[in-house]
Each structure stands twice: as structure tokens, then as C-alpha cells.
């Protein structure tokens, strides 16, 4: 299952984040979210916790049925193979 790079907006600031199904990870800069705007879509937060080792907030989203998210086997357009030729 691949992570998709997305943009999260909070107020007038934007943050690079990674999303996989209903999981969202981004730098811990948005406080205690009730909703997040992911690529222009406002989604409700079910739960969140902070990984203090890397200062990353990990969010579990309440993704409505039918909302497109990255699923198993979908390509993110990037190769997973190593680039080392040896």
C-alpha cells in the first residue's frame, strides 16, 4: 500500500503531508484538529496522536464512503525499486 503526497491547509498555511486510506501524517504544526483540509477537501478527524520522536501528528480521518483515496495496488507514479545499479 503506497502513501500519497498531499497538501494540508490550516488557516492560510499549507503543509506537505502523506495520506494512505484514512491515515494522514504531517509535521506537528496544526494543533488539535477537528477537521483538516486535504487537497481542497475538508475531512473530519476521528482521532490523532503525536509521535514526539519525530514531532509528527498522525491523524485517523473519517473518510466518507465513495471518497477517493489511495488503495492497495494503486500506483503513485513513483518507482519502488532502488536506483542503485551494481
d(CA 26, CA 15): 7
Q: Spell out, as residue ranges, where the chain has pLDDT lower than 70.
A: 65-86
d(CA 78, CA 8): 21
Structural domains for the chain: 4-62 (2.40.10.10)
CB 44 within 8 A of CB 34: yes
pLDDT score recorded for residue 66: 60
| Mean pLDDT (the chain, rounded) | 84
Amino acid at each position: 500500500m503506497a502513501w500519497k503526497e498531499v497538501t494540508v491547509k490550516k488557516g492560510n498555511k499549507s503543509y506537505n503531508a502523506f495520506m494512505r486510506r484514512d491515515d494522514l501524517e504531517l509535521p506537528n504544526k496544526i494543533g488539535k484538529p477537528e477537521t483538516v483540509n486535504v487537497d481542497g477537501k475538508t475531512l473530519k478527524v476521528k482521532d490523532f496522536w503525536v509521535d514526539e520522536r519525530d514531532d509528527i501528528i498522525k491523524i485517523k480521518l473519517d473518510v466518507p464512503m465513495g471518497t477517493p483515496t489511495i488503495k492497495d495496488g494503486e500506483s503513485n507514479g513513483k518507482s519502488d525499486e532502488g536506483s542503485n545499479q551494481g
